[in-house]
Amino acid sequence: MPELKDTYPLYLNNRAAQPNTDLEVTDKFTGEVAFRTALATPDVIEEGIAGAVRSAEPMAKLASYERQDVLMHCVQRFRERFDELAYALCVEAGKPINDAEGEVTRLIDTFRIAAEETVRNYGEVQPLDISARAKGYMGMWKRVPIGPCSFISPFNFPLNLAAHKIAPAIAIGCPFVMKPASKTPLGALIMGEVLAECDILPEGAFSILPASRDGADLFTEDERLKLLSFTGSPGVGWDLKAKAGKKKVVLELGGNAAVVIDKDADLEDALDRVIFGAFYQSGQSCIGVQRILIHSEVYDRFKAMLVEKTKTLKAGDPKDRETFIGPMISDKEASRLKGWIDEAVDGGASLLVGGSLSNGNMLEATLLENVPDDCAARNEEAFGPLAILRPFDSFDEALEQVNDSKFGLQAGLFTRDLFQVLDAWDRLDVGGVVVNDVPSYRVDNMPYGGVKDSGLGREGIRFAMEDMSEIRNLVVRRTS
């Protein structure tokens, strides 16, 4: 296994800085301090924002090929540092090594897609002569960088969710300041180390600044920042939006995603995918499978299959390649979800498998059924290794159950009926419908995001670039 350093710097205006070593980051499995990083103070954050403002014009002037070269440099360096990046995820996030390697692969994909899109920033020629008064006029428009951006990323995908902000910003030509999650800052800091190797980036093009939660106010409220992109919990996200002022806001928030298993589904295929969707990286994904809706004709059979498969999942050290269930991010979060499980059981739910908590943050993969409608386990975002089962008798009923949520990120649907697929696509109030797979599936160039309490806007490189740009018109009157 690679070795991590004892201390890591923050990155201020493209350069490493070590004003302190105040942020302790723990190994989420052992609980021991794994390394320390610098913690940005308000004056450091102010300096980063000021640098982003100064660099806005030179960033916008970079040629497309120059921005593409920066992104391709990152792709190459991430490939070279693949094992280090995966091990860092294992330690700081407690992510099982197989999942960690998958995330590094997605990091590379995300930067590669951004590099490709850098040279595809097209505009449009628009006819304006729609009536006699506009005869002789024509229009054109192009996209230009919106300016300095502010990014706040979460703990559960420390590499890829940061990459979905950083890569499109570089591709379109926006400087940025980023606050990575305090529990998992290392992935973003390694990205900063790689970006710092790119001399072509103007000073102030990026700052990666671990900070306390209080520091988030500076990333949110400063009027010099033109866009805030936040990924995290709904409560925090909507509060930040209320404080953001005039800037554009993109929110990637939570969910309690449902998957529908219809009577014509291939149950063996669905089983493997549902187990993955519910329990990969200990369920700590906003599109993790939380609600499993099963047609009554196959309910008992599929329930038995789920229980038996869940019992086989190995829990333990995320550095062990046999481990599927690793630790949750903290004792507090594990205790919170254990409380939700106990509340549901006390209210009449049946515990089918799991439910035990050990070593502070090791929660067993858990399946419940007959969960009362008023329980947190059904209505809130579990963000841990918990899924609940419920039968349905008709497809209409299944769609109604999917929509019976304050969230709307993605939904999964296992069926062979094309007409039902199209019906679900029309009727489900979610950002995306995934057919014959779980809602947890995502490819990094697709438009991704939710409705209702799940957020605003869309990620996916091209769509993020659109958020980070604005349209500039040109109107021409031809007089000859």
Report the residue count for the chain: 480
AA letter at 435 = V
Short-list 203, 233, 289, 250, CA closest to 447: 250
Asked whether the beta carbons of 473 and 233 are under 8 A apart, the reply is no
HSE-CB of 205 using CA atoms within 13 angstroms: 26
Q: Cα dist. 58→38, 260, 339, 400 in Å? A: 28, 50, 52, 51
Q: Tell me if residue 32 is catalytic.
A: no
Check 252, 333, 364, 466 and give the catalytic one: 252
Residue at token pair 């850098």: 118
Q: State the CB neighbour count (10 A cutoff) for residue 435.
A: 16
Name the strand (E) or helix (H) holding 295.
Answer: strand 291-295
Short-list 315, 270, 288, CA closest to 413: 270
Q: What is the largest CA-CA distance in the chain?
A: 82
Supply 11's token pair: 């990155």
Asked whether the beta carbons of 75 and 107 are under 8 A apart, the reply is no
Supply 472's token pair: 């500039």
Beta carbons within 8 Å of 49's beta carbon, 6+ residues apart: 148, 150, 177, 207, 218, 222, 224, 225
Q: Tell me if residue 74 is catalytic.
A: no
Distance, CA of 221 to CA of 176 (rounded, Å): 15
Q: Buried b / exposed e across 354-393, counting CB within 10 Å, b at 16+?
A: bbebeeebbbbbbbbbebeeebbbbbbbbbbbbbbbbbbe
Residue at token pair 């919170």: 336
Strands 291-295 and 410-414: unpaired
Check 286, 333, 375, 466 and give the catalytic one: 286
Q: Cα dist. 23→35, 39, 212, 402 in Å? A: 9, 6, 9, 41
- Catalytic positions: 252, 286
